[in-house]
Amino acid sequence: MAKLVIIDDEAAILELMSKLCRAAGHTVFGFQTGAEGLAAVRAQSPDLVIVDLRIGDVNGLDLVKTFGEEFPNTAVIMVTGHGSVETAVEAMRLGAFDYLTKPFDLGDLIKTVNQALARKNGGAITNSATLTSSVRTANSSKLIGHSDAIQRIFEMVRRVADNDSPVLIEGEFGVGKHMVARALHEASRRNAAPYKELQCSAMPEDVLEAELFGHGSSQQGGIFSRVNGGTLHLAEVNQLPQRIQAQLNTFLDECQARKSWGSNGNAAPDFRLIVSTTVPLEDLTQAGTFREDLFYKLSVVPMRIPPLRNRRDDIRPLVEHFLKELAERIDAKPKSIDVNALEFLEKYAWPGNISELRNAVERACALSEGDRIQPTDLPTKVSQQVEVPAASGPGVMKLPIGSPLDDFIKAQERVFIQETLKYNNGSREKTASMLGISIATLYRKMDLNSERKTTA
């Protein structure tokens, strides 16, 4: 196997990366300072170096430049934070093979290491493991849920996983679009190749252009070439500037032409394209802010993920998954959740969807003193309720803060209609006339249709 040097001043991350690479069979030398790491590279002549962008004593870019000049046959992977993507692109200009953005998926680390080593050795990226049908399923990803809506997503992933047609995933912020994109990759025949995700809203236009298409007429170094047989997920594709929309449209046309007719030995890059958006692209095309021809290229297989408030059956399994996941981080037994606390979670509207639910569960775990999460451990906006007059009979009903306004309006509406019915001695015709609505509307608002059918 290969010889690796890892340089990161965060001891926990350094230890984790070293442990994973050793488990993959590599010889690993880890260092927390740039000076020690550089000395080790000069002494060991490793096959690959993983270097953090920000190290206390040196700039990671300076190390990448030095490695490129002194050790051109050593592959380099840059590790960077979310806010330094532009600098990471600069690292690739200096010769780095690829970069990982913190927090990165542990599986991506090993895949990127293997890809860098395969490129260094001049060979194709291979995977000696046998892919079984149990691995290549949608459920091998982190898609979780019992609702009919999420089951339809499971089925769609299964059906189109091995179809290379572009997929458009639409849905609100936090519904799990990136999870569905990764599920498509993991369930496909491409799952041994790279999976790359690029946030189209995360960088300036010129940096985004360079990251997508590379530099110069050869377009070397662009993410399409680096994905190399795998899957590329362009997140928030609705944020693409119009100039880059035009470039992407032309690029996809050229790729199709190369596949169909060939291009003097210049093979088209091999990738499966997935795009996602929080704003329906068709609406943007009608508004004139997104190219119609590009929209049709990207939306061959459309998928829409409904918000969590429309699939409340998924809340319980998601909570159980998050509790287990949080426990595994600290090697502890998962906490349980009080039935009343779970009821609060199931009734809340979750405007931030799965992302907000995950944060609420993590907060509750941190604040809970015992082994069971109580309602008092939940965020105030989740557990706080507003009392409104009950729709029928005396007393009040409670609506959680964050419930849709429509729920409150319907509750008040029913109370007012009931009082009007009492005033008219139960006459529905008089009540409908007084309220200025039809008899059919009165029956619908009071949920009297079943009674109407019974007495008819």
Predicted confidence at residue 137, as pLDDT, reads 38
CATH of 309-383, one of 1.10.8.60, 3.50.50.60, 3.10.450.50, 1.10.1020.10: 1.10.8.60
CATH code: domain 387-455 is: 1.10.10
- Lowest mean pLDDT, pick from 47-51, 58-62, 104-108, 344-348: 104-108
Query: Which H or E run includes 72?
Result: none
Predicted confidence at residue 354, as pLDDT, reads 93
Over the stretch 349-397, which tens digit does the pLDDT of each residue have?
899 999 999 999 999 999 888 899 988 899 888 887 666 666 555 566 6
Predicted confidence at residue 452, as pLDDT, reads 46
Over the stretch 98-136, which tens digit does the pLDDT of each residue have?
778 776 766 778 878 887 887 766 543 333 332 233 233
Domain ranges of the chain: 3-120, 149-306, 309-383, 387-455
Q: One fold for both 3-120 and 387-455? A: no
Predicted confidence at residue 100, as pLDDT, reads 80
pLDDT over 60 (residue 3): yes
Q: How large a percentage of the chain has pLDDT more than 70?
A: 82
Predicted confidence at residue 389, as pLDDT, reads 61
- Give which of 196, 212, 189, 177 is closest to 89, Cα–Cα: 212
pTM of the model: 0.61
Which architecture, in CATH terms, is 149-306?
Answer: 3-Layer(aba) Sandwich (3.40)
Q: How large a percentage of the chain has pLDDT more than 90?
A: 37
* Mean pLDDT of the 41-56 span: 89
CATH code: domain 3-120 is: 3.40.50.2300
Over the stretch 306-352, which tens digit does the pLDDT of each residue have?
999 999 999 999 999 999 989 888 888 999 999 989 988 998 989 99
Residue 301's pLDDT band (boundaries 50, 70, 90)?
Answer: very high
Predicted confidence at residue 132, as pLDDT, reads 30
Q: Extract the tokens encoding 298.
A: 């990207």
HEC letters along the chain:
CCEEEEECCCHHHHHHHHHHHHHCCCEEEEECCHHHHHHHHHHHCCCEEEEECECCCCEHHHHHHHHHHHCCCCEEEEEECHHHHHHHHHHHHCCCCEEEECCCCHHHHHHHHHHHHHHHCCCCCCCCCCCCCCCCCHHHCCCCCCCHHHHHHHHHHHHHCCCCCCEEEECCCCCCHHHHHHHHHHCCCCCCCCEEEEECCCCCHHHHHHHHHCECCCCECCHHHHHCCCEEEEECHHHCCHHHHHHHHHHHHHHHHHHHHCCCCCCCCCCEEEEEECCCHHHHHHHCCCCHHHHHHHCCEEEECCCHHHCHHHHHHHHHHHHHHHHHHCCCCCCEECHHHHHHHHHCCCCCHHHHHHHHHHHHHHHCCCCEECHHHCCHHHHCEEEEECCCCCCEEEEECCCCHHHHHHHHHHHHHHHHHHHCCCCHHHHHHHHCCCHHHHHHHCCCHHHHHHHC
Type of residue found at 424:
N
Over the stretch 410-438, which tens digit does the pLDDT of each residue have?
777 888 888 898 888 989 999 999 899 98
pLDDT over 60 (residue 219): no
β-strand partners of 168: 275, 302
